[in-house]
């Protein structure tokens, strides 16, 4: 069992939440892990590749700045928590939640409702209560984090789909039962990566209210449409991540593998920031000359192939 008091870095509201919902806390932790892994996949060919460090801050100083990268991390982690909790509930792993019975609507022609529709609203509620608990200050950074957290959760709702199973003799589809399902999390990662690329730059405004000064965000450029709840927002420029810098959390790109033939950000010219690259050969053992035998197995030989590996200087 999880001992909530032993988890470092929890604010009091998160601690209370942990104690009230202790049986789904493993799913919360799994969701954060899923989010980090997806971040590292999406940015694997970028100068900043979502590197984590062995520290309670996980990403180091990168999240201290109100940049696009910070916006993406908050969104994908928040989505990951909602995703993992929703999936856990549908699998029956927790007693306090289950399938969604509220949003079914009338069935379509040739199919009926069945299975377990995943309750993304409960998963999003858990993510909102836990992730947003830290963002209760009246400043711009809290406003930004709350917005991006919600954008991550909204991505789940936007990508839910109807999943169906056929029933009938010999696999015929006389009757289909259908239920609402979350997509593979890679779909969410791709979706949020597009939001990262089109993130809206904001400026900070101060307002005097009865509780004191409050900071809010508005679009920096009036000729662009203001961001919706689905868009990511930021208000500080990113470093170029070319050189190591402890203050910004940049690890630089030295010794990173690069793609010699690509003209994109993963190509040696851009990823190596104009410093050039080294090339060395690498031998790899691979299966080859595979033959299918009736019935039913495959036999392969083992070949040694030589590859050129390019790394940034």
pLDDT (tens digit per residue) in 72-109: 999 999 999 999 999 999 999 888 999 887 766 677 77
pLDDT (tens digit per residue) in 43-52: 999 999 998 8
Domain ranges of the chain: 4-96+120-154+183-250, 268-312
Judging by beta carbons within 10 Å of its beta carbon (0-12, 13-18, 19+), is residue 114 exposed, middle or buried? middle
Q: What are the C-alpha distances in Å from 255 to residues 53, 57, 65, 311?
A: 18, 24, 26, 5
Q: Hey, what CATH topology would domain 268-312 get? A: Endo-n-acetylneuraminidase fold (3.30.2460)
Q: Write down the pLDDT at residue 61.
A: 85
Pairing of strands 175-181, 161-167: antiparallel
* Three-class SS state of 147: helix
Q: Write down the pLDDT at residue 167.
A: 82
Q: What is the pTM of this model?
A: 0.88
Rounded to the nearest integer, the mean pLDDT of the chain is: 90
Q: Write down the pLDDT at residue 114.
A: 83
Q: Write down the pLDDT at residue 45.
A: 92
Contact criterion met (CB below 8 Å) for 132 and 126: no
Pairing of strands 111-113, 175-181: parallel
Please count the helices (runs of H) and the strands (runs of E) in the chain: 7, 10
Q: Write down the pLDDT at residue 103.
A: 65
Secondary structure (DSSP) of 93-109: --SS--B--SS--S--T
Q: Write down the pLDDT at residue 55.
A: 59
Q: Write down the pLDDT at residue 165.
A: 87
Pairing of strands 233-234, 200-209: parallel
Q: Write down the pLDDT at residue 146.
A: 96
E-strand ranges in 264-296 read 277-293
Low-confidence ranges of the chain (pLDDT < 70): 1-2, 54-57, 103-105, 171
Contact criterion met (CB below 8 Å) for 144 and 204: no
Q: Write down the pLDDT at residue 171.
A: 66
Least Cα distance to 152 among 34, 239, 46, 56 occurs for 34
Q: Quote the radius of gyration of the chain (alpha carbons, Å).
A: 24
| Crossing angle for the helix pair 140-158 and 68-90, to the nearest 10 degrees | 50
Q: Write down the pLDDT at residue 57.
A: 64
Least Cα distance to 83 among 194, 158, 163, 6 occurs for 158
């Amino acid at each position: 069992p999880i001992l909530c008091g032993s988890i470092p870095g929890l604010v009091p509201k998160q601690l209370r939440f942990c104690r009230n919902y202790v049986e789904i806390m493993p799913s919360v932790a799994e969701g954060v892990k899923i989010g980090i892994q997806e971040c590292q996949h999406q940015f694997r060919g970028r100068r900043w590749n979502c590197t984590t460090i062995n520290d309670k801050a996980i990403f180091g100083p990168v999240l201290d700045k109100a940049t696009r990268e910070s916006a993406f991390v908050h969104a994908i982690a928040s989505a990951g928590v909602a995703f993992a909790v929703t999936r856990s509930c549908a699998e029956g792993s927790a007693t306090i939640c289950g399938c969604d019975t509220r949003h079914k609507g009338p069935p379509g022609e040739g199919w009926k409702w069945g299975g377990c529709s995943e309750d993304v609203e409960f998963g999003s509620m858990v993510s909102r209560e836990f992730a947003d608990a830290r963002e209760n200050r009246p400043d711009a950074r809290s406003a930004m984090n709350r917005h991006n957290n919600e954008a991550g959760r909204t991505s789940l709702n936007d990508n839910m789909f109807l999943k169906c199973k056929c029933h009938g003799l010999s696999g015929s589809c006389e009757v289909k039962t259908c239920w609402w399902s979350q997509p593979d999390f890679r779909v969410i990662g791709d979706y949020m990566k597009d939001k990262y690329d089109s993130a809206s730059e904001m400026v900070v405004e101060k307002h005097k209210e009865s509780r004191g000064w409050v900071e809010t965000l508005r679009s920096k450029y009036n000729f662009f449409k203001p961001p919706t709840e689905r868009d990511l927002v930021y208000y500080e420029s990113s470093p170029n991540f070319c050189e190591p810098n402890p203050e910004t959390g940049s690890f630089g790109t030295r010794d990173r593998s690069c793609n010699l033939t690509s003209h994109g950000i993963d190509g040696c010219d851009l990823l190596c920031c104009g410093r050039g690259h080294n090339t060395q050969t690498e031998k790899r053992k691979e299966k080859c000359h595979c033959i299918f035998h009736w019935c039913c197995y495959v036999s392969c030989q083992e070949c040694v192939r030589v590859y050129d590996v390019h790394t940034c200087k």
